[in-house]
Structure 1
Amino acid sequence: MTDSETTYKLSDTVYEEMLPLIQGGAWATNGRLPSEQDMAAQFRVSRPVIREALKRLRSEGLIQSRRGSGSFVVREIAPETEYPSISSIADLGPLASFREGVEGEAASLAAERRTQDQLDSLYRLVDMPRAAADEKNAGRDFAFHVQVAEASANPFYRNTLLSLRRQMMLSMNLTWSLSLFEADFLDTVEDQHRSVVVAIGNQNKDEACRLMRHHIRWVHNRFLHGHQGVLG
């Protein structure tokens, strides 16, 4: 893997981790972003990776660079529809069911419409080394699902997931946190992600849909097993 490929892979993940900071207000509209050096330390990547992620935010009109002053948030991310909040374990069932339908169809379309660059990006993401205790697992998990939706070439799928970021990240953070000591969880999730990408690469629409739906259902059932009442 070349240095440029590594930079692209990491910057795509960092970009997905920066979005909720803007959406949640941690990086407020009209506020100045941290320095590249501070962000490199925060996201544990090099400054060239940070620059690539910021470049994507600028291209989407979310931030603006001001000579001598740094980068500033110029537009907030606010979904037009407010989805229900997650306040109990029971709320995760409807979310998982909804995701099965949306993301299964997104994976099916991705198998039909994905570009080679998008497929390469998905492979780089699923092949990224990570440990079970890595605090960034939930963010990388979310980034994978968003990239599959983006490969569908239908922006409604990607925007739906971005609008559900808060709910999905809560679910994913809980799942990863409670699975730290389950040795097979990380391996199984990685295998399932990779299987979805292989089906997309083979342009097998039915298999991509089936595998994505199975993955979401498996993770939800695995979380429920022995973790009832976690949210009170």
Structure 2
Amino acid sequence: MEQEQIRLLKAEEIECRVGMISEKGLSLLLYKDARVDMKILDEVYGSSNWQRKHEVIGGNLYCTVSIWDEKKQQWIAKMDVGTKSNTEKEKGEASDSFKRACFSIGIGRELYTAPFIWISAEKIDIHKKADRYVTYDKFKVSSLSYNENREIKDISIVNQNGKIVYQLKSTSEKNTNEHIDGINQELRRTGIALDTVLRRYGVSSIEEMDENTYKKAMNSLKRTKPKAA
């Protein structure tokens, strides 16, 4: 039951939930659901080689996930406790305790390395409802990658319209400088304002552009006729 056996989460397996929200913007939390845990347990160990058990200890609901170790010829167990849910209390605690036990096994542990994700108000629709702020925007992870230490290295998050609202990328300083120089050269040639390009691709700076976005921007600019002399 080695952690290295467990693959890293894919972008489509990670969900986004609003954490804090104010008139200035909101923070996002990344999480996985129980279905992802079950799928990965099946993939790695086989559907017949793991099991789960729930029990109440001291008034709290715990989950034990056990995995069959063929070499040791014994079950290896991990246990954790769930937290109460605002709706469907028992179901929420059962699901949460299961997900936490799976974290102990190593599934989704890379989410702990996620950066603090803050999205400013100009990129989203925020409304005041009674005495609090709300948003009806939906968010999803569109792409991500990890480093050799199984830590999140690059991540892009889009809204329901597919527009990038948050991006973290570990581009080398050399590549970043090349991107900035390349874009600025085309902006001077075409007379197009930088803000126009940034708004079009949903980023706040050239540094936020990933390689694919940079290539799209450059290709579009190169097809644009130069400004009149």
TM-score, scaled to structure 1: 0.25
Tell which has more relative contact order, 1 or 2 (C-alpha 8 A, sep 6+): 1
Q: Which structure is higher in strand share? A: 2
TM-score, scaled to structure 2: 0.25
Structure whose CA Rg is larger:
2
